[in-house]
């Protein structure tokens, strides 16, 4: 059974109660972010809104650390709607903002954390270093056709369920964030599949558009 956490029922533990080893891991990760991980994930790339991306990476990391209780080594994450470089509504509407920053960062720091990440998106991911699957998540069996059973410890869906691209895929409208109806369609297609590819007691963490859960 997959456990579902979302922004409604999930609250992060404060950092001050952490043991020293957890604090060290946390510091290591946040130093990587501050020390220009963005440069290393996208060399020679001048990013106009670096501040925004860094703060979003920080928030995602806090959540992941907390959910996995700082036990990262050997864990496998699936990042659904991970972001992409082109080929979706977001990339034309918000250039650079929804590139796969989190998957890139996790992959680029995997020698330090022991975490493995797979990204999934319907947009173009060619040229990325992390393992990825380009697929429409509304397609039947899209995940179980590709991933092994009981494989993932944690599945993330950051801003997937309210994505403008999702609305476009469901209704053809390319000017709205996903409505509840579109989010429900996505949920119906992927939840039963997640039950198969996520380990027993694994976690599905959905942030943004999560009112359908």
Ligand X SMILES: C[S@@+](CC[C@H](N)C(=O)[O-])C[C@H]1O[C@@H](n2cnc3c(N)ncnc32)[C@H](O)[C@@H]1O
Which positions touch ligand X (CB under 6 A)? 81-84, 88, 90, 98, 121-123, 136-138, 158-160, 163, 165-166, 169
Contact 131, 140 (CB under 8 A): no
List Cα–Cα distances, 75 to 7, 37, 63, 104, 105, in angstroms. Answer: 22, 21, 15, 16, 15
Query: Could you tell me the maximum CA-CA distance found in the chain, to the nearest angstrom?
Result: 51
Q: Which is nearer to ligand X, 18 or 176 (CB)?
A: 176
DSSP state of 140: T
Q: How far is the CB of 24 from ligand X (least distance, A)?
A: 27
Q: How far is the CB of 139 from ligand X (least distance, A)?
A: 8
Q: Which is nearer to ligand X, 7 or 18 (CB)?
A: 7
Q: Which is nearer to ligand X, 59 or 199 (CB)?
A: 59
Rounded Cα distance between 98 and 129, Å, is 17
Q: Which is nearer to ligand X, 27 or 55 (CB)?
A: 55
Q: How far is the CB of 159 from ligand X (least distance, A)?
A: 4
Rounded Cα distance between 135 and 42, Å, is 23
Rounded Cα distance between 158 and 115, Å, is 18
Rounded Cα distance between 115 and 179, Å, is 33
Residue nearest to ligand X (CB): 81
Q: How far is the CB of 87 from ligand X (least distance, A)?
A: 8
Q: How far is the CB of 65 from ligand X (least distance, A)?
A: 17
Q: Which is nearer to ligand X, 25 or 160 (CB)?
A: 160
């Amino acid at each position: 059974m997959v456990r579902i956490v979302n922004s409604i029922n999930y609250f992060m533990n404060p950092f001050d109660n952490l043991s020293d080893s957890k604090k060290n891991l946390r510091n290591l990760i946040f130093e990587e972010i501050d020390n220009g991980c963005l440069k290393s994930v996208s060399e020679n790339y001048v990013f106009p809104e670096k501040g925004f991306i860094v703060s979003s990476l920080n928030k995602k990391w806090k959540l992941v650390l907390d959910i996995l209780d700082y036990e990262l080594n050997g864990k496998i994450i699936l990042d659904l709607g991970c972001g992409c470089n082109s080929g979706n509504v977001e990339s034309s509407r918000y250039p650079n903002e929804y590139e796969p920053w989190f998957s890139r960062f996790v992959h680029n720091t995997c020698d330090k954390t022991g975490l493995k990440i797979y990204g999934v998106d319907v947009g173009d991911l060619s040229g990325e270093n992390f393992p990825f699957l380009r697929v429409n998540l509304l397609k039947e069996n899209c995940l179980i056709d590709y991933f092994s059973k009981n494989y993932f410890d944690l599945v993330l869906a950051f801003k997937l369920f309210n994505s403008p691209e999702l609305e476009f895929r469901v209704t053809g409208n390319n000017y709205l964030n996903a409505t509840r109806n579109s989010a429900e369609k996505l949920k119906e297609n992927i939840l039963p599949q997640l039950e198969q590819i996520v380990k027993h007691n694994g976690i599905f963490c959905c942030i943004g558009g999560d009112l359908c859960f």
